[in-house]
Amino acid sequence: MELDDSFLKGIGMKGGQIHMLMRKRNELLQLQEKAQQGKNSSSKAPDRTEARTEPVSSTDAAAQDKPSRGHRAAASSKKQGRRSSQLKHGDDEALELSNCRPFKSQDTCFKYVKDRVLAPESGVNDLIAPCHEYKSFATAAELNKNQLKSKFACEVIRFASACMNIRTNGTIHFGIMDSVEDKGYKHGQIVGIKVKERECYVDALDHIEKCFQENKQEIARKCIHPPVFVEVISKDSQDQRFVVEVDIEPTSSLVKNSFFEVCLPKYNEESQKVTLTKEKAIYQRLGAKSEPVKPNSLATFIQGIQDRDAQRERAELSSTEVHTEASQNLGRKLAILLNDGKSYMDDSLRYILVTNRCEKDNLTCINFLMRLNIFCVFDFDEHSNVSGLYSKYKEHHATRSYFLQDFSNESKTGNPPSQKHLCLFDQPSWVFCNGRSDFLGDEKPCDENTWIRTKKKYLKKAITRICDEILPKRSFIVLFLLLSPVQKPLVDTFQEFYTEMNGTEYIVCIAESKEIYGKWANLAQASCSIETLEQCSIVGMKLSHVDATIRAMLPSTAQPRHLPVSTRGLCTLPLLEEEKLFSLEILCADQCDDIKLDLLTEKEIQEIEQNFYKGRKIIWENFWLAEKRRCGEIIEREACKDASKLLDDILRGSGLNYSVAKLKVFHHPGSGGSTIARQVLWKRRKDLRCAVIKTSYSPATVCEHALAFRDYDEKEISHCLPVLLLIEDYDEDYLEELRNELMDAVATRKINSPRPYFILMCCRRSNDPERLCKASPLDTVAVTHKLTDSEKSLFRTKLEKLKQKDVKPEFILTFVLMCEEFNETYVRDFVGHILLDIDRSSRDTCLMRYVALLNFYVPNSYISLSHCEAFLGLGAYAERKLRAYDFKSHLSEQVRMIFIELRESTTYISSVRIIHCLVAKEILYQLSGNEPQSQLAMTLLQEKPLFENRFGREEFIKFIRDLFIRRDKRSRGDATDTLFSPFIEHVCKAEDCEKAIAVLKAAYELLGKDPFFAQQLARLHYKNEKFEDAEHWAGVAKARMPNDSYILDTEGQVYRKWFSFTVDKMTQEDSPQSITQKIEIALKAMKCFRAAQQAAKAEYDSMNNAGYFGEVEVGCRLLRFLSTLDVFHRNPQGEYSELVKYLITDYYIPKDIERTWTNLHSRLKGLRQNLYNALEWISEDLSYFQTDKNQEKDEEDERDEKEEQIYNPRKWLKRQSEVYAKFFISTSLKGDSNSALDTQLMRRMNIYKSGGGNVTNILSFLTDKKEARSAEKLENILSFYTENPLRDRLEDNDLINYILCHITLSCLAPGSAKLVSVQALRELSARFFKAKGPFPASAHFLLTLLYWPDEALDKEPNPDKDKILNSALQTMKRLYDIKMKDVPTRKKRIYTPFFLGKGYGLAKIVHKNKIDKLISGSLDEKRMKWLHGTVWNIAKIRDILKRVSGWTKDRDLFIRGHMKELPILPLHRDSVPPGNENVTFYLGFSFKGLVAFNIQVENNAAISRTQGI
């Protein structure tokens, strides 16, 4: 059958393997045809059998038939789809050629590979080159000893005598197919035979004495060499087979003037004995055959003996002449193998080293390995850590050591996608493939067979993962360094890499010893021919020469790198120390000076410059080349100068002294923000220690490395230089956690420094950088597309200079667009011009549209080069000669202009994106034609090559997920907040929601039925009033993730929206059944929200309070709905007495609904308590946090459009509390019952209706601009309480609210007649510390306010009051920790509602709002004054607040209470001075505890440290 791509793919072969196989097959077919022509001219007779001179018995014949049937069966199975490496090979297939064992060679390392073919049998050549004869010997090898010996001796003696008579060397091979009749095999095919006893073959030659004449027997013994057993290796078979070969060497000194007449042994079946042929015969070589000399030619043959002797003598004389082999140019070969013949190596390539034992002498010759960019090492030397290569390498590099099974599992840990293989890139991985002799654990070395059985599978797994998932094609070279005798595991490693990499294109072997290489090559030829191996191998070159040659080709010198030090000098930074700080990209004082500038051509320098101006991120080489005047200067924008000035201010200590300062750079995409940030670093690299943070690592790791970086090689760590750390495209939570880690770490040092320890330069993309700059002008720089007049001039001049260098504008598109300030019209026209003649149907244009779709809608998205190659059908099919493979050459000119190739700085993984998101937007619109974007996305989802490509798959899938479900948020720097992903919102707006639903469904199916896609489908359906479908998809999401609070909340939102929709559409004609259905929907919503509340409590990495807000929203809407029903008519006073009576009493049910609402009664009667619980939880929650972060200007417009964010939660809570109370108040109910419970309930509802009822509502009176009105309301609320609350015991929550009303009223109207004394309030609060029951945090918060030492009340020290304070503080801290869980630090910002004032009694409690009123400026300006601590410079504020004294001890802050010390929380740990100091500060009261503001060392203003909010 004919081999084709479809068949080979069907049997599981990879694309590259198919390509190589087909190409090799065509080459071999041509060789086979030529060989066949030569063979036909001198072939054996077609009817020739193995033993032509003896009869074959019927038994033997039957035995010989069996292999043929087996081969036909193999042929049949092949047609059924088996692999092409079966034993059967049809006539139309060509097998790989193999070389014969060198004549007389006893090399035990030489092997044959099963199913390869030897050159056809040959006749006499030059007498020295042996002629060859093949025997399959398959049947005879299975015979008994006597039969085997006679058969073997017969063939050897016949062939030997023929060679000796002709005076030619020869080799007869047993185990090589010779029968041209057997269509199952090729002539010369290596199959091998099973050798049970080698002695049988050796002893068989004892027949020499019987078959040769007596005077010729000794000569024959010397000419016929002993049998050589050559092992036949096979990847697919474990059977041990051999080719048995006998060499014949008739030297002239032995055979001169002699001819050899022999009789041949044969086995007699009847007598079962070996007999000799009756007539002797003289054999000769005729062509490829051994034939007897015919009687009529005998005389002539004998007369020619002298001529043949003379020919033999001349041939031997010629062969003994010394032929000096011309030495190979191995240096050039090494350069070609490692860097395609360039003068220097590509430093972006990574190396995988495979090696074995390195002797001590060789350790001085492997310095080049210290300079290579090694990814990992597969080391088969168990002593490597003690005396081998690893012991030397780790002196120069930080490494991670593994055993084989650990390394194979390293990359499949549960890390996030971005971190999955990260640790493998930062430090070389040293894999001990066969244990470690010095390891105390169980990993001991093992023998070959044990290794194959127990460890080979891990090797295969590791190599497959590296090649398929970690390192992209053409980004690495596998270097086999053979330093000692080779064993099978090392060969297995080669075979695995050869298979995974589809050949030897990126494999290099170096061996100084030819013997070591020979053994390795002979074993490796099972996968790859020896000729191919030789092409990729450097053999015989001294290791010291290899070392010097490679080091000369390195693109950089080995000169050390340096860092600035506090004494204004430099210190050396060894590579080993630098690699230990792997979470930092360190910028040295002499960065790039190690580059060999003379090796860079002008073209390469121009390419580096053009890459930047086309849109790639700037690299340090750009700055360095500009300084060296080898390329144009980098434009310095005004924002760069602004950032430098802000940095100088921070370093001078202007304003406040932070240990960790922040300098923020917000920039439009493509406006050069990253360039500006790196320009600042480059300019300060000689006087500050500078580095770029790799945000893939945890803040704790970065903090550890940053501290080590700061302290490195400094004598006094108190005088170290500040460290400037650049962090780009960060997450806000990450930044905050890092800052806190750094501040805590600095705080433990107990060192006071006039300058910051660290300066975090935070560079992030934003669609509105100017807004963010206005919000924090003292530490923020905005970079926009808008150019100043001076900048326009600089950009125009630069563009002209680039044009003078013959740089076409289309090759520096980003720079050209920046010159035009990314004007939309200009971008549209420019893109239109480029796309004018583009082939819209081509694959690369289609790829460009996909990339544009992702780039426009997903920030920082890209597609890996591997995905692009898979999509275009490239990569695996590349010709060998295209090693320096250029992806761009397969793209159209237009696509090349639009794409920019990026390379990740750590992993060197290449990817592509559109040069700018605005260009991506134009491509989408201009190439769409009539095709909507939903259809483009649908087509993208059907592109199997993209989704099945394993390399970089996780990043690609993440971008696809973001395309469909990532919403825009202003807090992340996006222009707006969106309900759905911008793409889905576009489809809904430009097309229709059905298209959006269809494409989301397709994505859901493709991406493993992701529950978050089901969640989005539910949201999209209910947004478009498709509630049944929304219910289905919410159920689907819930089924996949039943305990996710956000998904449960979405289910609740489905029913909430459904309920609101049905109520809004309600008419007078609605049936009782439909009313029941509406109530059922509302109750389902509340049940879902309660489930979300419980799930949120169990989630330790988030604080999701949406369930509580949702339950209150639905509950209040349900109350309003119930109040409209006829069955609950109002009384004459306008109250909902019937509804109240129904909801709060267990016994009362109106007859009209008694039966129809049977399933609802119990749930509706629990409505009041459920709402009360939710309102209380929300109130307590809001008490912890500052909630004024949202600006009033956009709140009202945006509130209705946002379902997840409540813009004014305090106001919302107050409004909902009033609604709640409205439907539970009825004066008529008081007359119906004397129950104290009902009376208390009515009082509580009246308090709610008046604006009280919980902590947050009460405190919100303090923010009312009309203080008199608020005071009046509070007095009204207090009137609802009993006159003697100490006697008439209030419930816990009522008592808390009662006390807090007095404190709040005291802040608003200190002279109010309703106020009671602090002493009375203390007596009321006694139960909070005397009773054992659990109390909410607000109760303990009140204790800290009431029992703080009062100059009027606490004249005598009282230790019991300290116990109360201490107990309250401890309980508040415990409750705070429970509430906060493991959420990011940024979300733990505590709200401090009260401060300690200068008065006494209730007058000493000052609310924060009173302080805010004394601060001038807008809300943003006020926040900045709190942030930077300038609020404490305002005299009026200092006049009303009391400054208290305390002390520090080991960076902890304390204050004396009534008698004992109490712990105080500094707002920032960074604000506590080092050492043991007396300090003063302002005291705040929060739900976390007592908080210190504006900490200053007492009586020492020179070194005072100030810290604001």
Q: How far apart are the first and last CA of the chain?
A: 81
Nearest CA among 1238, 1276, 1236 for reference residue 1258? 1276
- 1029/1486 Cα distance (integer angstroms): 46
Predicted pLDDT of residue 1470: 67
Predicted pLDDT of residue 512: 92
Q: Tokens 């809904």 label which residue?
A: 988
Q: Which of 326-335, 378-387, 904-913, 984-993 has the lowest mean pLDDT?
A: 904-913
- 592/600 Cα distance (integer angstroms): 13
In this predicted structure, the answer to whether residue 43 has a pLDDT above a threshold of 70 is no
In this predicted structure, the answer to whether residue 1028 has a pLDDT above a threshold of 70 is yes
For the chain, what is the mean pLDDT? 84
In this predicted structure, the answer to whether residue 626 has a pLDDT above a threshold of 60 is yes
* pLDDT tens track for 556-583: 887 889 999 999 999 999 999 999 999 9
Nearest CA among 705, 711, 697 for reference residue 757? 711
Confidence of residue 178 (pLDDT cuts 50, 70, 90): confident
CB atoms within 10 A of CB 14: 14
* pLDDT tens track for 181-224: 556 788 899 999 999 899 999 999 999 999 999 999 999 999 99
Q: What tokens were used for 1164?
A: 């509706």
Predicted pLDDT of residue 1266: 86
Predicted pLDDT of residue 1263: 86
Rg of the chain in Å (alpha carbons)? 44
Predicted pLDDT of residue 1207: 62
Residue 1114 or residue 1147, greater confidence:
1114
In this predicted structure, the answer to whether residue 1201 has a pLDDT above a threshold of 70 is no
- Which SS3 state, helix, strand or coil, does residue 1484 take? strand
- 1136/1122 Cα distance (integer angstroms): 10
- 1392/1487 Cα distance (integer angstroms): 8
* pLDDT tens track for 384-435: 999 999 999 999 998 988 888 887 765 444 343 334 445 678 889 999 999 8
- Which SS3 state, helix, strand or coil, does residue 1224 take? coil
Residues 1118, 1059 contacting (CB under 8 angstroms): yes
Q: Which residues pair with 587 in a beta bridge?
A: 690
CB atoms within 10 A of CB 69: 10
Nearest CA among 820, 806, 475 for reference residue 610? 806
SS3 content of the chain, % helix, strand, coil (to 5): 50, 15, 35
Residues 101, 245 contacting (CB under 8 angstroms): yes
* pLDDT tens track for 1344-1356: 999 999 888 888 8
Q: What tokens were used for 1347?
A: 């029992």
Q: What tokens were used for 1250?
A: 């008046």
* pLDDT tens track for 781-793: 999 988 988 888 8
Residue 56 or residue 1330, greater confidence:
1330
Residues 1262, 1268 contacting (CB under 8 angstroms): no
**DSSP per position, 1124-1182:** TSGGG---TTS--HHHHHHHH-SS---HHHHTTTTTTHHHHHTHHHHHHHHHHHHHHHH
Largest CA distance in the chain: 152
- 403/633 Cα distance (integer angstroms): 50
In this predicted structure, the answer to whether residue 1255 has a pLDDT above a threshold of 80 is yes
Question: Which ranges of 628-764 would DSSP assign to H, the alpha helix?
Answer: 638-652, 673-684, 699-711, 732-747
Confidence of residue 27 (pLDDT cuts 50, 70, 90): low
Q: What tokens were used for 546?
A: 């290899």
In this predicted structure, the answer to whether residue 95 has a pLDDT above a threshold of 90 is no
Residues 674, 662 contacting (CB under 8 angstroms): no
In this predicted structure, the answer to whether residue 48 has a pLDDT above a threshold of 50 is no
Q: What tokens were used for 1008?
A: 């493993």
In this predicted structure, the answer to whether residue 539 has a pLDDT above a threshold of 90 is yes
- The pLDDT of 1249-1274, averaged and rounded, is 89
Confidence of residue 28 (pLDDT cuts 50, 70, 90): low
Instruction: Spell 815-846 as b/e; 16+ CB within 10 A means b.
Output: bbbbbebbeeeebbebbeebbeebeeeeebbb
Strand bridging mode 899-903 / 910-914: antiparallel
- The pLDDT of 1065-1080, averaged and rounded, is 86
Predicted pLDDT of residue 920: 92
| Helix axes 1045-1064 and 1011-1023, enclosed angle (nearest 10) | 10
Question: Which ranges of 1313-1428 would DSSP assign to H, the alpha helix?
Answer: 1318-1324, 1327-1330, 1337-1346, 1359-1380, 1408-1412, 1419-1428
Predicted pLDDT of residue 33: 58
Nearest CA among 1039, 1001, 1032 for reference residue 1018? 1032
Sign of CA dihedral 1048, 1053, 1059, 1061: negative
Q: Amino acid identity, residue 401? A: S
Predicted pLDDT of residue 314: 92
- 1166/1168 Cα distance (integer angstroms): 6
- 1336/289 Cα distance (integer angstroms): 106
Nearest CA among 51, 291, 84 for reference residue 179? 51
| Helix axes 1011-1023 and 1027-1040, enclosed angle (nearest 10) | 160
Residue 970 CA: distances (Å) to CA of 253, 1197, 1205, 1309: 99, 15, 12, 40
* pLDDT tens track for 289-301: 899 999 888 899 9
| Burial group, residue 897, by CB count within 10 angstroms (0-12, 13-18, 19+) | buried
Q: Tokens 């801290």 label which residue?
A: 1373
Residues 143, 61 contacting (CB under 8 angstroms): no
* pLDDT tens track for 1085-1144: 999 999 999 999 888 878 888 999 999 999 999 999 999 998 888 887 778 888 888 988
Confidence of residue 770 (pLDDT cuts 50, 70, 90): confident
Quickly count helices (H) and strands (E) in the chain.
65, 37
| Burial group, residue 639, by CB count within 10 angstroms (0-12, 13-18, 19+) | buried
- Which SS3 state, helix, strand or coil, does residue 56 take? coil
Predicted pLDDT of residue 1237: 53
In this predicted structure, the answer to whether residue 57 has a pLDDT above a threshold of 50 is no
- The pLDDT of 106-134, averaged and rounded, is 90
- 207/196 Cα distance (integer angstroms): 20
* pLDDT tens track for 1381-1405: 777 666 666 789 999 999 889 999 9
- Which SS3 state, helix, strand or coil, does residue 728 take? strand
CB atoms within 10 A of CB 1158: 11
Predicted pLDDT of residue 933: 93
Residues 1440, 1406 contacting (CB under 8 angstroms): yes
Instruction: Tell me, letter by letter, the H, E, C secondary structure of 450-463.
Output: HHHHHCHHHHHHHH
Residues 907, 375 contacting (CB under 8 angstroms): no
